[in-house]
Amino acid sequence: MMLIRRGQERGHANHGWLDSFHTFSFADYHDPRWMGFRSLRVINDDRVAPEMGFGMHPHRDMEILTYVLKGSLEHRDSMGNGRVIQAGDVQYMAAGTGVHHSEVNPSAQDWVHLLQIWIVPERRGVSPRYEEKSMARAASGVLHLIANREGRNGSIAMHQDADLWLGKLSPGDCLSHGLAPGRHAWVHVAEGQLRLNGEVLSAGDAAALTEIEVLQLEGISESQVLVFDLA
């Protein structure tokens, strides 16, 4: 079964300095039909104005991944990390027992476009941790493992039985991903347009897949897609 979540149907909040689309219920947007999918709790598609951002604020007991699509993002946290991540970079924080962090667009002129992803951890109270992985030079036409529970193949290790894959597709590129019995997939199109098992999805669109053995992805335009393989 495949259930499509169209981008234009997402929650939307435009604060002037922040233009944000919410795939799942978040902040003032609440839809009981869209509270998350398996352990995936948040996908926020954010555009942040120059020299604006989120001041220091707390998190706990959440796996937080940020993928920068365009521009740059300055990060500071209570663990002592201070970094500027660029387009193509993935940032990971295990909030665990509690962290404070800020995220600010350091540019004086360019907006930053990012995806912020929250995954519910399989256990509470882990030690906070920070990690980065650059996907800027990741080859097109391949699914790249960004994060999973074991940190296999050089991926980021996180506290949940979830595999996060990134695919970059050019027109005509074809990718496939098998789902083991009992696994579920959430596919989010970050940029461009593609076909997923024959259905056309555009930037911001997503799909939940259950009881399907193979995901077939075909690039229509230059595109980026995130594939969450979930317990």
Q: What is the pLDDT of residues 80-131, one digit of tens each?
A: 999 999 999 999 999 999 999 999 999 999 999 999 999 999 999 999 999 9
Q: What is the mean pLDDT of residues 140-155?
A: 96
The full 3-state SS of 173-186, as one line of letters, equals CEEEEECCCCCEEE
Any bridge partners for residue 178, and if so which?
214
pLDDT of the residue at 129 = 98
pLDDT of the residue at 14 = 97
- Tokens, residue 160: 């949940």
Residue whose C-alpha is closest to residue 75's, from 56, 97, 94: 56
**Rounded to whole angstroms, how far apart are CA atoms 200 and 99?**
39
pLDDT of the residue at 219 = 98
Q: Is the dihedral of CA 70, 27, 17, 78 positive or negative?
A: negative
Domains for the chain: give ranges and CATH numbers: 2-230 (2.60.120.10)
Q: What is the pLDDT of residues 30-77, one digit of tens each?
A: 999 999 999 999 999 999 999 999 999 999 999 999 999 999 999 999
